[in-house]
């Protein structure tokens, strides 16, 4: 593919994680980081190190494990302590970047910062120089750039480049821009910042008006060569520009944009699915690129056209984004070698320990159902990925329900020290009784916010997947469970959510600091 390369800057682990209900522990962040590296992102914003000890530890581990394969970026406000902490987190990475930001719009200057234009420029220059003293790759963001006066924005950007910024990001922090306005803003900077050739112009668009992707692509037309985005478009409020959408737009319309990316597009669907598994943040069925309906054709006219020639109604192929249906695969007599080959075909490389756990789950599943599908295997894999040592482990459960009987559940759980606890509870149904029993044993009082059940593949014996969201205090926690027994899947999902709360309580995280 000809043309310029657009740098894909992924901020799923920083801006994406700030989306309510999308917080991740360190093990889960490492799993997402691994997937992003395999996807081929050029820059990974791993977190905001000064926000909490947990954030610092996650960024540090990601930098050490993946900093030789992709650029690991740490976010910092224009404060000495932020920049020093960011450097400490990423210093062991071979490829590293410090990203500093400072608001520039009039509304932020007056109401948040209480700073003059001169103060803003002085602080920006001083802190960019400090970051440049640590590493050569420095990004500067004038927060709320879209609502900043163009002449002042031009001056700030020019001075930041003079101070050592190699990338200048132009954030639409509150999702206020429209494509023509954003295009004009980028063109103005290209034409009026005297040293603009010394830096890459970047986009960072929010989706409050549903135009994050459109604005990002308009900026590419105007000369931007980095797009900041997240998997599935997750992020604060309405979210960020969706990585899969900008990437496939640039690929599908390469003759128009005359640009390409380094993304392995066949990893888009698996990475999207992994993120939904870990965060519980589902995408709508008709979501572009990765939604369940993205390649479904129900209309008779569409189906006829598809049978004649797929390009009549498909501008990209399902396999281009790594989408897989429910193809029949293996049975209970399949060996380890055949199973490992199938995992590789599905795009998964597991270490020996993880492979053994998934293989055992597969054998157990094959004993329960006649036909095992690709989708079943993917669900088993994702049920193991990012697994941590939970404070509670389910040993056994029993439920009793029926017409004229009081639904009852008896649960046995094992704690971190190996001691087994048993209790029982009644409820409005067997699932409700299970949830009450789990709360009695763990001592955690939770409110069920959301409960979803779906069939992973098809057939009466299909593997069922349960997603739950609970509220404890003022925070939400997500859990997922899979089983051919939907009550067992429900119990595992609810227990996982309770364990997430317990882990969060042990390593609590302060409130998120505002960022672009």
Three-state secondary-structure class, residue 240: strand
- Tell me the C-alpha distance between 82 and 77, whole Å: 6
- The angle at the Cα of 364, spanning 439 to 327, to the nearest 5 degrees, equals 110
CB-neighbour burial class of residue 265 (10 A; exposed 0-12, middle 13-18, buried 19+): buried
Which residues participate in the annotated binding site for Mn(2+)? 15, 204, 206, 240
Which residues participate in the annotated binding site? 15, 204, 206, 240
Q: What DSSP element (H or E) covers 436? A: helix 430-442
- Tell me the C-alpha distance between 296 and 317, whole Å: 12
**Helix/strand number for the chain, H first, E second:** 17, 16
Q: CB neighbours of 350 closer than 8 A, spacing ≥ 6? A: 343, 358, 381
In 223-321, which ranges are continuous DSSP H helix? 243-252, 254-257, 268-279, 300-308
Residue 394 CB neighbours (<10 A): 18
Residue 381 CB neighbours (<10 A): 22
Q: CB neighbours of 278 closer than 8 A, spacing ≥ 6? A: 24, 28, 31, 32, 385, 386
Residue 45 CB neighbours (<10 A): 26
């Amino acid at each position: 593919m000809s043309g310029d390369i657009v740098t894909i800057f992924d901020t799923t682990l920083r801006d994406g994680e700030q989306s309510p209900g999308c917080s991740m522990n360190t093990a889960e962040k490492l799993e997402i980081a691994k997937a992003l590296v395999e996807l081929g992102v050029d820059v990974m914003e791993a977190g905001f190190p000064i926000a909490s000890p947990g954030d610092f530890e996650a960024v540090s581990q990601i930098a050490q494990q993946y900093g030789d394969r992709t650029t690991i970026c740490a976010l910092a406000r224009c404060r000495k302590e932020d920049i020093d902490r960011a450097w400490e987190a990423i210093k062991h990475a071979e490829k590293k970047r410090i990203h500093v930001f400072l608001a520039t719009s009039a509304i932020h200057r007056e109401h948040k910062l209480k700073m003059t234009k001169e103060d803003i420029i002085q602080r920006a220059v001083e802190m960019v120089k400090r970051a440049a003293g640590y590493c050569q790759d420095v990004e500067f963001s004038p927060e709320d750039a879209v609502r900043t006066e163009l002449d002042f924005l031009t001056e700030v950007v020019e001075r930041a480049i003079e101070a050592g910024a190699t990338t200048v990001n132009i954030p639409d922090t509150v999702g206020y821009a429209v494509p023509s306005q954003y295009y004009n803003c980028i063109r103005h900077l290209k034409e009026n910042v005297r040293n603009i050739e010394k830096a890459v112009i970047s986009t960072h668009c929010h989706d409050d008006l549903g135009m994050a992707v459109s604005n990002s692509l308009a900026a590419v037309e105007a000369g931007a060569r980095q797009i900041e985005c997240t998997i599935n478009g997750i992020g604060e409020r309405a979210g960020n520009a969706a990585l899969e959408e900008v990437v496939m737009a640039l690929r599908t319309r390469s003759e128009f944009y005359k640009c390409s990316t380094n993304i392995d597009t066949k990893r888009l669907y698996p990475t999207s699915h992994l993120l939904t598994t870990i965060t519980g943040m589902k995408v709508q069925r008709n979501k572009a690129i990765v939604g369940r309906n993205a390649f479904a054709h129900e209309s008779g006219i569409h189906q006829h056209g598809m049978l004649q020639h797929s390009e009549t109604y498909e501008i990209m192929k399902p396999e281009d984004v790594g989408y897989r249906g429910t193809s029949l695969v293996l049975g209970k007599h399949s060996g380890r070698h055949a199973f490992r080959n199938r995992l590789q075909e599905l795009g998964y490389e597991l270490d020996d320990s993880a492979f053994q756990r998934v293989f055992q789950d597969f054998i157990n599943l094959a004993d329960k159902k006649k036909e095992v599908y690709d989708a079943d295997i993917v669900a088993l894999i994702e049920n193991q990925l990012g697994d941590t040592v939970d404070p509670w482990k389910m040993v056994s459960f029993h439920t009793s329900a029926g017409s004229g009987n009081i639904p009852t559940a008896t649960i046995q759980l094992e704690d971190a020290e190996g001691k087994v606890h048993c209790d029982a509870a009644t409820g409005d149904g067997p699932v409700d009784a299970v949830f009450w029993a789990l709360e009695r044993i763990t001592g955690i009082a939770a409110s069920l916010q959301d409960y979803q059940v779906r069939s992973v593949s098809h057939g009466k014996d299909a593997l069922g997947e349960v997603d739950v969201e609970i509220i404890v205090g003022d925070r939400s926690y997500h859990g997922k469970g899979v089983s051919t027994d939907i009550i067992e899947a429900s119990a595992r999902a609810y227990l996982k959510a309770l364990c997430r709360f317990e882990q969060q309580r042990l390593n609590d995280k302060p409130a998120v600091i505002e960022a672009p």
